[in-house]
Structure 1
Amino acid sequence: MQPIQVLETADADTTAAFDVIVDVRSPGEFAEDHMPGARNLPVLDDAQRAEVGTIYVQESRFRANRLGAAYVAENIAHHLRTAMDDWAPTTRPLIYCWRGGNRSNAMATILQRVGWPTAVLHGGYRTYRRQVQDELYEQACPVRFVLLDGDTGSAKTEILARLAERGLQVLDLEDLAGHRGSLFGGLAGRQQPSQKMFESRLLTALKAFDPSRPVVVEAESSKIGDRMTPPAVWRAMQTAPRIEIVAPRAARARYLVSAYADIIADTDRLEAAFARLPIPPSPARLEAWRGLIGAGDFETLASALMELHYDPAYARGRRKDGRQAIAQIAVDALDQATQSAVADQVAGLVSGL
């Protein structure tokens, strides 16, 4: 029987040699972040891990080890009968846990004895996480960005999608972060990923791009909801050429009423967003906004919010940046046909960069 292989790196080129990547950590650990494409086959679930840890600290190391071993054996047996039931004899699994210790080695030992050529990641998830941090915090961004800019309500996200349909490389940071990037940008029924998971998704997306071609990304602030754009990407965005969509406020207000229909339908979420505005509205203004909500006049409400908060914030950001856009695309409306026409113009500009 061949010895268990030990990998020193979680580099994608190395891990691609394996048929399945198995994360044996608890479901809670897996949900926070995991290696791209990994399957969660825990040797201890969250409750078991907490129980064993408590006994280890408060009662007896021996008793904790005995109970933990029993749980691990039961859980691995379950996975062998279920998730691994259709694995071919030649399947090559890569196993990792938090730091490449007891949990991954317990799983790897049994799989190797079964006959699968098995490897473990030295250092476990922490090895992978260090590589993510190095690439997103220390190294230069591997792609060239072109920023798609425009005031709030300029349909930038939809135009990004249309650019992707036209074969351009696009990076949708809002989708990766699970947030539309504004005080009103939370998505109903969808929590943001952890910062670590956001960074894993982001690095996976970056590695999929052809570095010889530009990547269009929406001009965002450094914070998307509660998630921060890592330094390597943020630095590249700050020096990227910028294409600006210019649309009148009335057209943007009409678009926002459609795009933010989920917020409009939830008065409590609207009120919560009002409370987070950097410049708190006066009692009189707040009552006026509530009156607009009661009357269903959301276009006027959207226009008021842009006038008070969003448009001045975007203007300050551009003044601070100081760079001129390489092109401005002025439109009178933001309907489907106009979005398509704008995407054509942006595609033509990007192809020349």
Structure 2
Amino acid sequence: MCQNTADYRQLFLDDTPLMDVRAPVEFARGAFPQARNLPLLDDRQRELVGTEYRRAGQAAAVALGWKLATEGVLAQRLAQWRAFATRHRAAHLYCFRGGLRSRTAQQLLRQSGIEMPLVEGGYKAMRAFLLQQLEAHCAGLPLVVIGGHTGSGKTDLIRRAGRALDLEGIAHHRGSSFGRTRHAQPAQIDFENRVSIDLLKLAQGRGPVFVEDESRLIGRCALPPVLQQAMAAAPRVLVLESVEKRARRIVRDYVADALERFADADQGPELALGEELRESLGRIRKRLGDLRHRQLDAQLQEANRELRENGTTEAFIPLVMALLTDYYDGAYDYLMQKQPGEILFRGDFDEVAQWLATGS
């Protein structure tokens, strides 16, 4: 018989495949990166069983659950579970609290000849463990923040650093109003879980952990307050790049490289990207003021036209330089005044990259 576990630390360190038998609506609210949702009850069945539990108690709810589990439903569930177990020999399963649903799934698998251990305490206990670990690691890990104005190349430096927490990579967003990527952003709980798991893995090594300076929100993902506080107090490395260099890097990342995201757009990639850029500019209209927004929007439309007709991105350079000096640099300087952390090193992109490469 398989051995159930409550060793949450090892499950996350090993990226153990997890079979989540909660309903899809529960999974969508929050899960773990190595988990796959193969529910015992779908959303409607879960609702019916829950209503019966509140009306008549557990025994009645269980009886209704088995009534809903018709031969066809059971065959479908078992086929999915068996396929998952075959692909992932080390898999564990869980439900919300490690109770009736996970034990029922384990029993059904056992009757079909497959042993799969369950996670005691289920999702609730694993989530509590990750929140506790997040608190501990934010207090104990030697964080170093890589800061600098928008477009300085902080994300590239984070990805070059040997030990780093890539918050924008986890959030699937570049952090600004223009920061969408090709991937949908995770749910807030999924974001927090992944941050905690990455910190847990980083804590197994030694040395500083680099993290990019971020505001509270990365797209729609909010930094956990405990991480915000740790980053505010951490020592910093500052990347100092000219406005033009930063603008050229932004145009490369947000325009030239971004066209690939729209390769399948019906209206063509250039037009689709142009519409998204105008929408993004509109999101900071109030901060720019109506007059300045209209001026920059007209400049953006001309740059979009150049891109469509001539395939050139050069017209975006002065536009981005204006956005940096008019808005982004001032906002960042204001935030920097509130950061008390020690400055460990400052230099341009190449100097900071060299500093990181030589062991900081």
The match for 2:296 among 289, 298, 303 is 289
Q: How large is the Cα RMSD of the aligned pairs?
A: 3.4
Percent of aligned pairs sharing the same letter: 31
CA distance in 2, matches of 1:272, 1:143: 39
Unaligned runs of 5+ in 1: 332-337
Displacement, 1:31? 3.5
Q: Which residue in the other structure is 1:276 paired with?
A: 283
Q: In the alignment, is the contact (CA less than 8 A) between 2:81 and 2:109 conserved in 1?
A: no
User: SS state of the match for residue 92, structure 2?
Assistant: strand
Q: Which amino acid aligns with 1:202?
A: V
The match for 1:192 among 185, 189, 199 is 185
Q: Please tell me whether residue 146 in structure 1 is matched to residue 144 in structure 2.
A: yes
After superposition, the Cα gap between the structure-2 partners of 1:17 and 1:292, relative to the gap in structure 1 and judged at 3 Å, is closer
Q: In the alignment, is the contact (CA less than 8 A) between 1:25 and 1:41 conserved in 2?
A: yes
1:144-168 CA-to-partner distances (Å, cap 9, x unmatched) read 22221110011111222233xxxx1
Q: Which residue in the other structure is 1:334 paired with?
A: none
Q: In the alignment, is the contact (CA less than 8 A) between 1:152 and 1:252 conserved in 2?
A: yes
Q: In the alignment, is the contact (CA less than 8 A) between 1:143 and 1:211 conserved in 2?
A: no
Q: Which residue in the other structure is 2:21 paired with?
A: 24
CA distance in 2, matches of 1:149, 1:18: 31
Displacement, 1:108? 1.4
Write out aligned runs for 1:221-260 (5 A).
221-260=215-254
CA distance in 2, matches of 1:17, 1:298: 45
The match for 1:345 among 345, 352, 355 is 355
Q: Which residue in the other structure is 2:266 paired with?
A: none
Q: Which amino acid aligns with 1:145?
A: L
Q: In the alignment, is the contact (CA less than 8 A) between 1:27 and 1:45 conserved in 2?
A: yes
Displacement, 1:181? 0.9
After superposition, the Cα gap between the structure-2 partners of 1:128 and 1:75, relative to the gap in structure 1 and judged at 3 Å, is farther
Q: Which amino acid aligns with 2:102?
A: S
Write out aligned runs for 1:69-84 (5 A).
69-72=66-69, 74-84=72-82
TM-score (norm 2): 0.79
Unaligned runs of 5+ in 2: 260-269, 304-314
1:45-72 CA-to-partner distances (Å, cap 9, x unmatched) read 3344346556777999998755532444
Write out aligned runs for 1:204-219 (5 A).
204-209=197-202, 210-219=204-213
CA distance in 1, matches of 2:111, 2:20: 19
After superposition, the Cα gap between the structure-2 partners of 1:215 and 1:278, relative to the gap in structure 1 and judged at 3 Å, is farther
Q: In the alignment, is the contact (CA less than 8 A) between 1:146 and 1:242 conserved in 2?
A: yes
Q: In the alignment, is the contact (CA less than 8 A) between 2:92 and 2:119 conserved in 1?
A: yes
1:88-117 CA-to-partner distances (Å, cap 9, x unmatched) read 7x9565321122233212111222344544
After superposition, the Cα gap between the structure-2 partners of 1:259 and 1:309, relative to the gap in structure 1 and judged at 3 Å, is same
Q: Which amino acid aligns with 2:318?
A: T
Q: Please tell me whether residue 311 in structure 1 is matched to residue 329 in structure 2.
A: yes
Q: In the alignment, is the contact (CA less than 8 A) between 1:35 and 1:128 conserved in 2?
A: no
CA distance in 2, matches of 1:16, 1:178: 22
Displacement, 1:142? 4.4
After superposition, the Cα gap between the structure-2 partners of 1:328 and 1:217, relative to the gap in structure 1 and judged at 3 Å, is same
CA distance in 2, matches of 1:77, 1:302: 57
User: 1 or 2, which has the higher helix percentage?
Assistant: 2
TM-score (norm 1): 0.80
Q: Which amino acid aligns with 2:199?
A: L
Q: Which residue in the other structure is 1:182 paired with?
A: 176
Write out aligned runs for 1:86-165 (5 A).
87=85, 93-137=91-135, 140-163=138-161
Q: Which amino acid aligns with 1:266?
A: L
The match for 1:330 among 303, 323, 348 is 348
User: SS state of the match for residue 338, structure 2?
Assistant: helix
After superposition, the Cα gap between the structure-2 partners of 1:55 and 1:299, relative to the gap in structure 1 and judged at 3 Å, is farther
Q: Please tell me whether residue 300 in structure 1 is matched to residue 318 in structure 2.
A: yes
Q: Which amino acid aligns with 1:178?
A: H
User: SS state of the match for residue 277, structure 2?
Assistant: helix
Q: In the alignment, is the contact (CA less than 8 A) between 1:92 and 1:116 conserved in 2?
A: no
Displacement, 1:16? 7.3
User: SS state of the match for residue 133, structure 1?
Assistant: helix
User: SS state of the match for residue 239, structure 2?
Assistant: strand
CA distance in 2, matches of 1:10, 1:31: 24
Out of 97-106 and 132-141, give the one that drifted further. Answer: 132-141
Q: Number of residue pairs matched?
A: 333
CA distance in 1, matches of 2:154, 2:104: 49
Q: Which amino acid aligns with 2:253?
A: A
Displacement, 1:345? 2.9
Q: In the alignment, is the contact (CA less than 8 A) between 1:32 and 1:193 conserved in 2?
A: no
